[in-house]
Amino acid sequence: MSMVDAPFVIGLSRLHRYDALLSSAGLARWLSSRVDEGLHWFDHAPIDGGGEFTDLLGRAIGLDADLARNMRLVVRLGVIPALQDSSGMGTKHYDTSPEGLERSLTGVLKALGVERIDTLLLMRPDPLMDVAATGRALDAFIADGRVKRVGVANFLPAQWRHLQSAMQTPLACQQLPLSVAHNTVLFDGLWQSLQQDGMTGLACSPLWGGRIFENQLGQMLGDLARRHNVSPAGVALAWLTTLPGRPVPVVGTLREKRLRTLASDAGLTLSRPEWFALLEAARAFRVP
């Protein structure tokens, strides 16, 4: 069974584009409506919005006790933007050291006003990672109850397996860019490695940031949408959820109407010819 009991995760990185969500009261109302609709999984990275979104999210959660209970949060850590580098260097860098992760986790829990997050993701593979130390730290976060599960993002199989070899807890998931327009991981073995290791794939940018609606691919999405009486965006998510291992899309729109449409379109499975027709439209050549 998928770790996510919702049709998709809602990524919060585009919050700045929605004026109505930039007040804590507005955001609390919006979050509460999503939770009521069963869209209770959210993805957040403290580096989004220059670091201000975490505080905003925390103030919103603080207004409604049900939110902290019912929201499921995926939080990506391990990247320190230049402006948050307190070393005097002002360098954007990765920090997956136990001390760095402890600082980041403590900070995010405090800002959000919650005792626990559902999923902690290491946002990028860190060449300076001491896997034994990082693996112990991640296991300890789970053991002390502050994190329910741990995963990675943008890792290669050798990178997550190296980390896994130093951990007691199985890595639960990997977040990676995946859409009909951005599909190489399906052909280079990475997607199959995730399945082999029992990890859920969280497919971020499943609409390629909105660009999949253009050109031949956009036309084909429209044709299939009419055929199945769903939206073109619903077809694009169905292209993903038709895959073995069933990735969970991490969508970026925060528009209520679009989210409701995506939720009502969920559950469609494409036939093989439909799936390959979309692939062909995206790549502009037939499979060999």
Ligand X SMILES: NC(=O)c1ccc[n+]([C@@H]2O[C@H](COP(=O)([O-])OP(=O)(O)OC[C@H]3O[C@@H](n4cnc5c(N)ncnc54)[C@H](OP(=O)(O)O)[C@@H]3O)[C@@H](O)[C@H]2O)c1
Binding residues vs ligand X (CB under 6 A): 11-14, 17, 43, 153-154, 175, 177, 204-210, 233, 250-253, 255, 258
3-state secondary structure of 90: coil
Identity of the residue, 164 or 179, whose beta carbon is nearer to ligand X in the bound complex: 179
Q: Which helix (H) or strand (E) holds 121?
A: strand 117-122
Q: DSSP assignment, residue 182?
A: B
Q: Least distance to ligand X from the beta carbon of 106, Å?
A: 22
CA distances from 267 to 178, 230, 239, 246 (A): 18, 11, 11, 11
Comparing every residue's Cβ against ligand X, the nearest one is 252
Bridge partners of 180, per DSSP, are none
In the 8-state DSSP scheme, what is residue 155? -
**Nearest distance from C-beta of residue 19 to ligand X, angstroms:** 12
| Minimum separation from the CB atom of position 197 to ligand X (A) | 18
Q: CB of residue 84 vs ligand X: minimum separation in angstroms?
A: 17
- Alpha helices for the chain (secondary structure H): 24-36, 52-63, 65-70, 98-112, 131-143, 157-164, 190-196, 215-228, 232-241, 256-265, 272-283
CB of 60 to ligand X, least distance (A): 17
